C-alpha cells in the first residue's frame, strides 16, 4: 500500500457502514504506518445543497480499518 498523504483519495466508511470516496486533509502519524487521518467528502443527500452546490462532510481522526473493530468510522 502506498503511503497516505494530504490530497490522497481513500474510501471512508461512515457509522452506517456506507462507503464514500474521500479526500485526505490531514495525516496524524507516520504516513506509511496506516495513520489516523482527517477526510472530507461530498454529501450524497440532495437536501444538503447550498449556494456553492452539494455540501461537504468532514470527519477527523479517522483510523485505518485494521485498527477499528466496529463496522464503520474507518478508512481503507
Q: What does the alpha-carbon distance between residue 34 and residue 52 come to, in Å, rounded to a whole number?
A: 33
Q: CB within 8 A of 12, min separation 6: which ones?
A: 19, 20, 21, 22, 39, 41, 59, 62, 74, 75
What pLDDT sits at residue 32? 81
Residue ranges of the chain whose pLDDT lies below 50: none
What pLDDT sits at residue 1? 62
Q: What does the alpha-carbon distance between residue 17 and residue 75 come to, in Å, rounded to a whole number?
A: 11
What pLDDT sits at residue 56? 96
Specify burial of residue 23 (Cβ count, 10 A radius: 0-12, 13-18, 19+): middle
Amino acid at each position: 500500500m502506498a503511503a497516505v498523504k494530504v490530497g490522497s483519495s481513500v474510501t471512508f466508511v461512515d457509522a452506517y457502514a456506507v462507503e464514500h470516496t474521500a479526500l485526505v486533509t490531514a495525516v496524524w502519524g507516520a504516513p506509511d504506518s496506516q495513520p489516523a487521518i482527517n477526510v472530507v467528502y461530498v454529501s450524497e443527500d440532495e437536501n444538503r445543497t447550498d449556494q456553492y452546490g452539494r455540501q461537504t462532510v468532514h470527519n477527523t481522526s479517522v483510523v485505518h480499518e485494521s485498527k477499528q473493530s466496529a463496522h464503520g468510522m474507518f478508512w481503507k
